[in-house]
């Protein structure tokens, strides 16, 4: 094999970028496990803990948990104090990983990465034939992750900022105007509006989400 002449500095820079990307990709599963197993929420609620304390509080196996904690500390999602051997979820990271109603909650984005990867065969085929991949052709995990990712933005902005920016819309909603939720995934924007403006659908707020889901049947 003949190795072409390359700029070593540019090569190292490209390799560094690729290693960063691979590290990020590998972190997705670790972060999702921390969410699914309640590890972030436990650290957020109980404060700094050793591996043994966290294992006892969550019922996890210490050997696996130790690897997870080491990864999280290396990724700067958790901090580690060698003197006490305790791991801490800082308040800033907690806003992204443990507090569902935080305006910067990010767990939905990690779920979305997996959902996008699941769609690779269909998108790959679209590269050959064109035509795109319809939203309804993605798996249900994409709808869940999208809803989870955008819900905090709706919760903190829809009623407070976005609707008031539309001339006359708040007055119409207050008066009980009819609205349509067509193809809007899990319908969180509609749920939030229904709770803020009871005249829209009194006594039926909890029914909004199941109705909106039917637009995209689960596979």
pTM: 0.80
Looking at residue 217, what is its pLDDT? 36
CA 142 to chain centre: 10
Half-sphere exposure (CA, 13 Å, Cβ side) for 71?
17
Looking at residue 208, what is its pLDDT? 41
Q: Report the percent of the chain where pLDDT is more than 70.
A: 90
Task: Go through 122-160 and write b for each residue having 16 or more CB atoms within 10 A of its CB, e for each that does not.
Answer: eeeeeeeeeeeeeeeebeebbbbbbbbbebbebbeebbe
pLDDT tens track for 97-131: 999 999 999 999 999 999 888 889 999 999 999 98
210 against 120, higher pLDDT: 120
Domain 8-97 sits in CATH 1.10.10.10: yes
pLDDT tens track for 163-193: 999 999 999 999 888 887 777 678 899 889 9
In contact, 149 and 103? CB cutoff 8 Å: no
Which residue in 141, 219, 150, 218 sits closest to 184, CA to CA? 150
Looking at residue 201, what is its pLDDT? 59
Looking at residue 139, what is its pLDDT? 78
User: C-alpha distances in angstroms, 102 versus 25, 136, 188?
Assistant: 24, 29, 15
Tell me the pLDDT of the chain averaged across its residues. 88
How much is the average pLDDT of 11-25?
94
Looking at residue 218, what is its pLDDT? 36
Dihedral of CA atoms 192, 155, 117, 61 in degrees, nearest 10, equals -110
Q: Which of 158-162, 178-182, 209-213 has the lowest mean pLDDT?
A: 209-213
| Structure-block tokens of residue 73 | 């500390």
Kindly list the domain boundaries of the chain, sorted by start residue: 8-97, 107-213
């Amino acid at each position: 094999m003949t190795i072409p002449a390359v700029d070593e500095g540019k090569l190292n820079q490209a390799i560094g970028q690729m290693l960063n990307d691979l590290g990020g990709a590998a972190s997705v599963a670790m972060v999702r496990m921390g969410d699914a197993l309640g590890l972030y929420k436990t650290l957020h609620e109980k404060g700094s803990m050793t591996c043994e304390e966290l294992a006892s509080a969550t019922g996890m196996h210490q050997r696996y948990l130790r690897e997870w904690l080491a990864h999280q500390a290396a990724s700067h999602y958790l901090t580690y104090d060698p003197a006490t051997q305790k791991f801490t979820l800082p308040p800033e990271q907690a806003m992204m990983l443990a507090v569902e109603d935080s305006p910067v909650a990010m767990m939905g984005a990690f779920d979305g990465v997996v959902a996008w990867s699941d769609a690779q065969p269909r998108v790959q085929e679209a590269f050959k034939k064109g035509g795109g991949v319809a939203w309804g052709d993605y798996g249900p995990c994409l709808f869940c992750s999208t809803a989870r990712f955008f819900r905090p933005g709706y919760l903190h902005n829809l009623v407070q900022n976005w609707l008031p920016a539309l001339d006359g819309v708040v007055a119409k909603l207050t008066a009980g105007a009819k609205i349509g939720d067509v193809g809007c995934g899990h319908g969180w924007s509609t749920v939030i509006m229904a709770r803020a403006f009871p005249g829209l659908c009194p006594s039926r707020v909890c029914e909004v989400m199941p109705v909106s889901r039917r637009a995209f049947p689960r596979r």
